[in-house]
């Protein structure tokens, strides 16, 4: 990206350092006391994971978490579940998100940013941090979540979600107050951050969003993914980005592939890591 003429190399170096530090703190990269929650990924069914899952449920009922020592390689790729970080996206996905945000700023692509499915808010916090680093004051970061976890599968309407158990995982339910507190911890909670509270099917179609430059979808399920695409895609500016965090999950991938086919979307999917993809709307 081209550095603005009024920004000295020294200021640009500080900005680069700030954003790199922000990513490492949000992911708790290199934090020796940051561990990983034991959890059951749908694509990693194995006896030992089932045992860990049972132990975790037992401990959760008593107010405790079962954790394992952090694996630095998994943390970097966003393949573990941090016990204390604000995001489980990992450095690769945050690097990609930074590139998308910086690109639309540099290219003058109009619109706000949105994340649908925010967990503890880390990726949304980072987008607001990028805006702050570049002194951008005319864009909003929209933070959309139920703040109660994921919905129970509506199998009659979305058969691809049959068997999904995300709604039973209480670790995915992070309250609005907790997410706001996380923004405030980084001094990034202000009027450029707006929250959409509720199920996507209820909030996104009526959200007062005019245009979008970056939309990051992290809803895990077919329903959450298709609801976000259906409500928001037509607001994406040419040159804007769609980022899908959960493309490795079969139901999410099915929603994305069907939507792209139904809209005759031909822009290529670019792989970010083994979990996430993006595409850029043609200018």
Highest mean pLDDT among 29-38, 50-59, 75-84, 274-283: 274-283
Least confident among 60-64, 84-88, 94-98: 60-64
Average pLDDT, the chain: 87
Q: What six digits make up the tokens of 81?
A: 């579940």
Return the pLDDT at 158.
81
Q: Are residues 63 and 100 in the same domain?
A: no
- As a whole number of angstroms, the distance between CA 174 and CA 145 comes to 9
Are 153 and 46 in a shared domain?
A: no
Half-sphere exposure of 161 (CA within 13 A, CB side): 22
CB 276 within 8 A of CB 245: yes
Confidence band for 39, pLDDT divided at 50, 70 and 90 = low
By residue range, what is the domain housing residue 42?
Answer: 36-69
pLDDT at position 165: 74
Q: 94 and 63 in one domain?
A: no
Pairing of strands 141-145, 112-116: parallel
The answer to whether position 18 is within a domain reads no
Report the pLDDT value the prediction gives residue 69, as an integer from 0 to 100. 67
User: In terms of domains, do 94 and 53 share one?
Assistant: no
Task: Determine the average pLDDT of the residues in 22-26.
Answer: 94
pLDDT computed for residue 144 by the predictor:
98
Residues 195-226: pLDDT tens digits? 999 999 999 999 999 999 999 999 989 999 99
CATH number, position 212: 3.40.50.150
Residues 6 or more apart in contact with residue 219 via CB below 8 angstroms: 116, 117, 150, 200, 225, 227, 228, 246, 252
What is d(CA 147, CA 154) in angstroms, rounded to the nearest whole number?
Answer: 19
Do residues 54 and 104 make contact, with C-beta atoms less than 8 angstroms apart?
Answer: no
Among 22-31, 38-47, 55-64, 202-211, the minimum mean pLDDT is found in: 38-47
CA–CA distances in Å: residue 240 to residues 14, 29, 60, 70, 124:
27, 29, 41, 35, 17
Same domain for 43 and 135? no
Say if residue 47 is in the same domain as residue 185: no
Query: Shortest CA distance to 115 belongs to which of 92, 147, 160?
Result: 147
Q: How confident is the model at residue 47, as a pLDDT?
A: 55
* Of 36-40, 83-87, 245-249, minimum mean pLDDT range: 36-40
DSSP string, 105-121: HHHT---EEEEE--TTS
Same domain, residue pair 135 and 265: yes
Question: Does residue 270 fall inside a structural domain?
Answer: yes
pLDDT surpasses 70 at 38: no
Average pLDDT over residues 239-255: 95
Counting the structural domains of the chain, the total is: 2
């Amino acid at each position: 990206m081209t550095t603005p003429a009024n920004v000295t190399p020294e200021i640009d170096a500080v900005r680069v350092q700030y954003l790199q530090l922000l990513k490492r703190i949000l992911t708790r990269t290199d934090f020796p006391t940051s561990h990983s929650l034991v959890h059951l990924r749908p694509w990693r069914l194995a006896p030992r994971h089932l045992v860990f899952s049972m132990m975790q449920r037992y401990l959760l009922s008593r107010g405790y978490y079962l954790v394992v020592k952090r694996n630095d390689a998994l943390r970097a790729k966003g393949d573990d579940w941090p016990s204390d970080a604000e995001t489980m996206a990992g450095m690769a996905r945050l690097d990609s998100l930074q590139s998308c945000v910086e690109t639309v700023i540099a290219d003058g692509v109009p619109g706000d940013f949105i994340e649908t499915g925010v967990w503890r808010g880390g990726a949304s916090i980072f987008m607001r941090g990028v805006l702050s680093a570049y002194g951008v004051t005319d864009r909003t970061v929209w933070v959309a979540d139920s703040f109660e976890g994921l919905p129970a599968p509506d199998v009659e309407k979305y058969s691809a979600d049959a068997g999904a158990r995300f709604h039973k995982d209480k670790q995915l339910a992070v309250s609005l107050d907790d997410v706001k507190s996380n923004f405030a911890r980084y001094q990034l909670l202000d009027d450029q951050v707006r929250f959409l509270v509720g199920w996507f099917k209820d909030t996104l179609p009526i959200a007062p969003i005019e245009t979008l430059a970056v939309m990051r979808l992290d809803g895990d399920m077919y329903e959450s993914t298709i609801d976000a695409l259906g409500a928001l895609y037509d607001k994406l500016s040419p040159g804007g980005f769609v980022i899908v965090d959960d493309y490795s999950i079969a139901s999410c991938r099915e929603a994305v592939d069907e939507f792209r086919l139904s809209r005759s979307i031909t822009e290529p999917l670019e792989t970010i890591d083994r979990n996430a993809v993006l595409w850029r709307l043609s200018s």
